[in-house]
Structure 1
């Protein structure tokens, strides 16, 4: 039994998607030669490269068993998929925007004679209906921010992460329609029929997420200083202690800590009597 995981073939979330699979132990066998279907280091798991906007429907229809794509694209395609994990990257917002010199400052200022341009007609129409509006929607496939300045529309809805591109194009945000992030999704039938394999993928990726910005700190401690070390040592599950075979009464101690704690903690541990301190990166926590 095999599964296919659909990931974006290009764009801002393509490389992060490949990277998180690699960290989960599912790297591409031939990373430099991306085919439509590429093999991973697990013979039962293949990667399928596709347009990010097509992935929700591919997973919905069972063309792929799993996929990596944005909430905005899932909602826009109205796909019925199982959202397994938030992958914690690619955060963005679908916003309603108008030219800076426009008199529109809120959705209440929009009038029925106005037009709105977007790459997201489904989400835009839903938003307008929620506010009792029935505007003409002009569907575009790119350069949405130019629409108000070439007479195509009065307003736009567009994705933004920082708002910088909108400001550069003299547009102001009127409202936030949707906040989006990247999800690991699965086909409902595949989740039943290939549950063990899909759960193995999900668990491995969750382990990568849990290990993000975590470090393993290891040290040797004379037994007489162990209590002092314990006092300054934060960790996820307490210190792990093991005996060191030496003439002195010494133990080896290790724990998982947050990356931001490393700088101050190393000095505190040294002052508490720890020595031979090692700080090691962690790939996964299961």
Structure 2
């Protein structure tokens, strides 16, 4: 038997990140656009190739993007076809994929709920013994009912799960709900919450060891964009005599930053990060307290 060829020995000129990290993201669906926006804002800009391919390079030569169905991403990451992936926690659980969840991206939030028609007399899980349950999540559904020691018949559907009780296909459903509007529209009533989910950055366990540095870099880049969401950067000039009054209005992350200004008016420059929901009412309060030359700037990334 021929001996396997030895891997070429790395020399001193080998770059820090000598291997490519592949990040799998959804190619379609309601979270595809927000994820693409997150990736771009993190600095992982797609290379200009004229068209989007299944595997697309980024401007970072050590990172490439794999576009895939959200439901397939957990397995792509678990098997090493991708080192990282962005998909729903619910899909990770449904596919029973052995991956590490690194970061909650804090969007795509929803609940997987057990619901029945509002005219149904069913009010508890136990009353569903022997009944038909329609779902796109058969693994989660079977696990849920096994935990409650209730035997049911699982009907797997590919969509429009909420219509099945009306059509007589099922007695109840287990389906995702973000606002509850679709359930109400279809006259469905929730009797239990099965799972809470949101979009996650997931990683292959072996890649976390072999490509640790680059994965941490990508992790930090994505996390910094998430931290910056809903935050604004305020800059203003304040007379030193009014500084205490202004500081009381600006808690910021660790308190405002105060710097001397080269001015004959005895001014200081005050910088602070505040929640953008406060900006509307805060501006007038700051002016009344003695601030002037106020600038409000968006924050793209924030690293602690």
Q: For residues 28-59 of structure 1, what are the alpha-carbon distances to aligned partners after superposition, in whole Å with 9 as ceiling and x for unaligned?
A: 23497321111222221111110000000110
C-alpha RMSD over aligned residues: 1.6
The answer to whether 1:170 aligns with 2:187 is: yes
**Structure 2 Cα separation of the partners of residues 99 and 10 of structure 1:** 31
TM-score between both structures, scaled by the size of structure 1 = 0.94
The answer to whether 1:95 aligns with 2:113 is: yes
Aligned to 2:250: 233
Q: For residues 160-191 of structure 1, what are the alpha-carbon distances to aligned partners after superposition, in whole Å with 9 as ceiling and x for unaligned?
A: 11222222223222211111111111111111
Contact 2:134/2:173 (CA < 8 Å) preserved in 1?
yes
**Structure 2 Cα separation of the partners of residues 125 and 263 of structure 1:** 49
**Structure 2 Cα separation of the partners of residues 211 and 176 of structure 1:** 31
Displaced runs of 4+ in structure 1, greater than 6 A? none
Contact 1:65/1:190 (CA < 8 Å) preserved in 2?
yes
The answer to whether 1:82 aligns with 2:61 is: no
Instruction: List alignment gaps of at least 5 residues for structure 1.
Output: none
Contact 2:57/2:64 (CA < 8 Å) preserved in 1?
yes
Q: For residues 56-96 of structure 1, what are the alpha-carbon distances to aligned partners after superposition, in whole Å with 9 as ceiling and x for unaligned?
A: 01100011110111111000000111111111100111111
Contact 1:18/1:27 (CA < 8 Å) preserved in 2?
no
**Structure 2 Cα separation of the partners of residues 231 and 95 of structure 1:** 44
Q: 1:202 aligns with which of 215, 219, 231?
A: 219
- 1:1-286 correspondence to structure 2 within 5 Å: 1-30=19-48, 33-112=51-130, 114-286=131-303
**Structure 2 Cα separation of the partners of residues 145 and 268 of structure 1:** 49
Q: For residues 179-209 of structure 1, what are the alpha-carbon distances to aligned partners after superposition, in whole Å with 9 as ceiling and x for unaligned?
A: 1111111111111111111111111111111
TM-score between both structures, scaled by the size of structure 2 = 0.89
Q: Classify 1:216/1:151 alpha carbon distance in 2 versus 1 (closer, same or farther; 3 Å).
A: same
For structure 1, which segment, 174-183 or 95-104, has the greater mean C-alpha deviation from structure 2 after superposition? 95-104
Count residues in correspondence: 285
**Structure 2 Cα separation of the partners of residues 32 and 137 of structure 1:** 45
For structure 1, which segment, 165-174 or 116-125, has the greater mean C-alpha deviation from structure 2 after superposition? 165-174
**Structure 2 Cα separation of the partners of residues 28 and 130 of structure 1:** 45
**Structure 2 Cα separation of the partners of residues 94 and 31 of structure 1:** 39
Instruction: List alignment gaps of at least 5 residues for structure 2.
Output: 1-18
